[in-house]
């Protein structure tokens, strides 16, 4: 059993992993898992409770720490609707690094990844300018429809390319 402390929260298209200093995965939180135990694990990891906001509908709740949010639209409906959606807008919280499975973090330059994967990159107009969006780490959804997938989304202002948010899971279907 490892005596290492948690050092990273790794965001993928299907789950989050709490990773210890020695590289051991201590906990995995799948996006189809129930929200309350996930909130408890993240609260312990970050060392503080979230701000809780009930949103649209009886089952919709957001749990927010500075720079990190877990959203839910209600219980999961497998295999198409996860219970947990995560948005990251900082690189670390209380010395816990927040990154994707391929080590992208808020603050990194997204343009090289967009250039390497133009088929997964888009620029969207916003009221305040534009947003560069890159979808990575595609994982097929087991429905028999080969085109459905969950992905990890990275977004940046295309003018400077700095990653401002990481989102997961992102669906390529409605």
H/E segment holding residue 46: helix 35-46
Report whether pLDDT(57) > 90. Answer: no
**Percent of the chain beyond pLDDT 70?**
96
Task: Give the pLDDT confidence of 96-117 residue by residue, as tens digits.
Answer: 999 999 999 999 999 999 999 9
What's the pTM value of the predicted model, to 2 decimals?
A: 0.93
DSSP 8-state class, residue 23? S
Could you tell me the pLDDT band of residue 122, with boundaries at 50, 70 and 90?
Answer: very high
Give CA–CA dist 174/81, Å, rounded: 10
Collapsing DSSP states into helix, strand and coil, what is residue 45? helix
The first and second tokens of residue 137, run together, are 């780490």
Task: Give the pLDDT confidence of 1-36 residue by residue, as tens digits.
Answer: 568 999 999 999 999 999 999 999 999 999 999 999
Task: Give the pLDDT confidence of 132-143 residue by residue, as tens digits.
Answer: 999 999 999 987
Sequence ranges of the domains in the chain: 6-100, 111-171
The first and second tokens of residue 15, run together, are 């789950």
Pairing of strands 149-156, 6-11: unpaired
């Amino acid at each position: 059993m490892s005596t290492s402390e948690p050092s990273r929260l790794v965001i993928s298209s299907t789950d989050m992993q709490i990773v210890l200093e020695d590289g051991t995965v201590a906990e995995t939180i799948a996006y189809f898992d129930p929200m309350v135990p996930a909130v408890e694990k993240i609260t312990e990891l970050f060392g503080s409770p979230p701000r809780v906001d009930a949103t649209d509908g009886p089952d919709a709740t957001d749990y927010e720490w500075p720079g990190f949010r877990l959203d839910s639209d209600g219980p999961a409906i497998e295999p198409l609707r996860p219970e947990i959606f995560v948005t990251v807008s900082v690189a670390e919280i209380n010395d816990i690094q927040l990154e994707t499975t391929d080590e992208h973090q808020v603050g990194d330059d997204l343009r090289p990844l967009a250039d390497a994967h133009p088929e997964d990159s888009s620029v969207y107009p916003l009221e305040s300018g534009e947003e560069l969006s890159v979808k990575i780490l595609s994982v097929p959804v087991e429905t028999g429809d080969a085109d459905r997938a969950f992905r990890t989304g990275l977004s940046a202002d295309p003018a400077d390319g700095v990653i401002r948010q990481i989102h997961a899971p992102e669906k390529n279907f409605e």
